Structure 1
Amino acid sequence: MMHPGQSTLAGRPTPPLQRFLIAVLPVVAVSVAGSLVTTPNIPTWYAGLAKPGFTPPNWLFGPVWTALYIMMAYAVWRILSLPKERPGRTAAVTAFFVQLALNCLWSFAFFGAHSPAAGLVVIAALIVAILATIRAFWPLDRIAAWLLVPYLAWVTYATALNAAIWHLNG
């Protein structure tokens, strides 16, 4: 089995610095953008919403998302380590960036637009996109695919939370 960073006759992986930048910078940008739209709304709009009993404390979201974003960046870094010509690599990278865009869009829909309903639409699409990404990663690098499973679990939980907030405040 090939290890990340190895070359084959089929081609070479993305160079290390470029691979790092492609894997890390977009994930950091999504994290920062999401935080910028979310943070000001937590003590104001979000605090005033009725929430279900399974709502975690606000302090938990930062550490959880930090860990998930690190795993996401490492997962796509592993995929970018494969030869560029590897069948399925381009589709896997594309799937990753589609789900990353939806991840960012959720913060703007839910917190920015103050719309649990819009958030629910986006997060449902996000679950589909994460599943597609895991499926695309699986034949290429099972570790990369498994790194996204905690993310899928958290987003599934967040979907239930989003749906309950929509129901309680609709």
Structure 2
Amino acid sequence: MNRMMIIPVTVATVAALCVAALGATVTDLGPWYQGLAKPGWNPPDVVFPIGWTVIYALITVSAITAWRAARTSAQAEWVIGLFAFNGFLNITWSLIFFRLQRPDWAFAEVILLWLSILALIIYCGRFSKQAALLLLPYLGWVSFAGALNWAVVELNAPFG
């Protein structure tokens, strides 16, 4: 690996691992979650860590690809900022849903998360189609998670 790749690869990998670890730490599949009514199309719990592992790998490669394809330092800074904001929203959803036990608020937040992924796709796609395409599974995954979140709200409301 050449020296020009070391920084983007290291930063993107460490950031993805931190977001994944924080998200996993705040995700509590204990009695409260197990007691929620869920739709019949809710996948088994084991699917989520597998899915998120694949998604985080794709996000990491996308971030590296976009950062390297950025034509200016300002574009590279925007790439870093947009991915960082998206990671923040990703962790925040888990906090709201699992720790605050507010799927209703989490649904509002998942809309922001979804929009941040769309912003990443549009922004990165301006100079790296590959980086944008790598984010499409993430958009699909969060779309599915959002639909599942809404179903949980519908089946269990009111909260608080």
Q: Do they superpose with TM above 0.5? A: yes
| Residue number in structure 2 paired with 1:63 | 50
Question: Secondary structure of the residue that 1:81 maps to in structure 2?
Answer: helix
Q: Matches of residues 8-157 of structure 1 in structure 2 within 5 Å? A: 15-38=4-27, 41-82=28-69, 85=72, 88-157=75-144
Instruction: For residue 110 of structure 1, give the secondary structure of its aligned residue in structure 2.
Output: helix
Cα distance per residue 1:75-130 (max 9 Å; x no partner): 00112223562663332332222111101111111011111012111101001110
Between 129-138 and 115-124, report the one with greater CA deviation. Answer: 115-124
**Is contact 2:107-2:150 (8 Å) kept?**
yes
Whichever residue aligns with residue 30 of structure 2, its letter is P
**Residue by residue, what CA displacement relative to the aligned partner does 1:145-165 show, whole Å, maximum 9, x if unpaired?**
000000000100100000110
SS class of match (1:58): coil
Question: TM-score scaled to structure 1, two decimals?
Answer: 0.85
More helix by share: 2
Q: Aligned partners of 1:162 and 1:117: how far apart in 2?
A: 8
TM-score w.r.t. length of structure 2:
0.90
| Matched-pair identity in % | 31
Structure 1: stretches of 5+ with no match in the other structure: 6-13
Tell me how many residue pairs correspond in the alignment: 156
CA distance, structure 2, for counterparts of residue 66 and residue 30 of structure 1: 11
Unaligned 5+ runs, structure 2: none
Q: Structure 1: which amino acid aligns with 2:24?
A: S
Runs of 4+ in 1 over 4 A off after TM superposition: none
